[in-house]
Structure 1
Amino acid sequence: MPKKKRYPIDGGFVALPHNLVDSKAFQALTNNAKITYAYFKRDLKNGHQTTVTLTFEQARNYGICKSPSTFGKAKKELVAHGFLDPFIPGGLNEPSVFSLSERWRKWGTPDFEEKAYQPGIGSKYFTAAWKNPERAQKLLQARHKKKPNTESI
C-alpha cells in the first residue's frame, strides 16, 4: 500500500481540544471572547508555561477588537467562564498576566469556583487605584522613575 504524502504545517498552531470546544462554558462565550482565548493560547511557548499575556495593542493588530472596552469585556468573560485566572493586573505600561485555568470544566455546576476579574491600572480605574495603597505606591514609583543622566560632561 503506498504511503500517504504528508504536508508539513507551516508555522505554529493553537490546539483547542474537542472537550473544550464542546463544553457549555465555551459555547456560552461570545465570538469575540472565543477568538481572544485562541490568541491567549497562542502565547504559550512550551508545555510548562502556565501564564499568558495578550496586550490591547496585540489584540488590535490581530483584528480581535478596536477598543479597549471590547477587549476588557472579552477578558472579563474568559475569567467569568473559567478559562483564565487573573495572575498579575497590568497597567502603567505593563500588560496583565493571566494563568490558564481548568475551571471551565465545572462551569454551570454548583462546584464552579467563581473568580473576580482584576482590572489593571488604566485611566478608567485610576481613582480606584489611588484608594488601594499598594497600587498607589506603584503609581507613584512609575511616575517618579529616575531617568539616566544623558548629559555629557
Structure 2
Amino acid sequence: MKRVKVNPWNPLPPYAQIEEKLVRSKGFSSLKTHTKWLFVEFRLRYKGNNPREIIFLESEGKEIMDPRTFTEDCRELVKRGFIDLVKRGGFYKQPHIWGLSKRWEKYGTKGFIEVDMDKIFPEILKKK
C-alpha cells in the first residue's frame, strides 16, 4: 500500500470546535437534539474572527429543519445564553446578525441574565 504524503499547507475542512465544559453544562444537556444541532450549525459559521457577526438566514434554516422549529430553537438558544441577537434584520431583506455568547456559563445560577426574544422584537413580529 502506497503512503500518502500530507501537505501541511492544505487548509482543513470546516469544523466546529465545542468545549467539553459547554457540552457538560446544565443548559446544553437539557436542550433538545435538534436545538443542539442548530448550535453546531452556528459554530460552523464561526470562522475564528467573527464571534459577533454570524449570519444565519431563515432560508438556510429551512434546509435543515422546519421554519417554525428553526425560530423556536433560535429563541431557546438565546434564552439559555448560547447565542445573542446582535442586530435585528427582517425589513428590506436584511438578515439577522447573531453572535456567540458566554452567558451559558452562568445558566442556572443567580448571576445568569435571561434574554427574552419577545422583548427584542416589535409587537408585529412576536410569536402568537
Normalization by structure 2: what TM-score? 0.78
**Structure-1 residue corresponding to 2:50:** 49
Structure 2 counterpart of 1:94: 94
* Match for residue 35 of structure 1 among 37, 48, 51: 37
Partner of 1:140: none
Any stretches of 5+ residues in structure 2 without a counterpart? none
Partner of 1:12: 14
- Say what the alpha-carbon RMSD is for the aligned residues: 2.5
Distance in 2, matches of 1:55 and 1:76, equals 14
- Counterpart Cα distance in 1 of 2:122 and 2:61: 16
**Structure-to-structure mapping, 1:2-151, within 5 angstroms:** 11-45=13-47, 47-51=48-52, 52-61=54-63, 63=64, 65-66=65-66, 68-92=67-91, 93-117=93-117, 118-119=120-121, 125=125
Give % identity. Answer: 28
Q: Separation in 2 of the partners of 1:27 and 1:59? A: 22
Is the Cα–Cα contact under 8 Å of residues 56 and 71 in structure 1 kept in the other structure?
A: yes
How many pairs align?
116
CA offset at residue 119 of structure 1? 4.0
Q: Secondary structure at the match of 1:37?
A: helix
Gaps of 5+ in 1: 127-153
Cα–Cα, structure 1 residues 37 and 119, in superposed 2: closer, same or farther, change >3 Å?
farther
How far apart are the structure 2 equivalents of 1:111 and 1:28? 19
CA 1:15 to 1:120, structure 2 compared with 1: closer, same or farther past 3 Å? farther
Distance change in 2, residues 1:53/1:10 (3 Å) = same
Q: Distance in 1 between matches of 2:121 and 2:95?
A: 11
Paired letter, 2:75: K
Q: 1:53 to 1:119 in 2, by over 3 A?
A: farther
CA distance in 2, matches of 1:36, 1:23: 17
Q: Which residue of 2 aligns with 1:145?
A: none
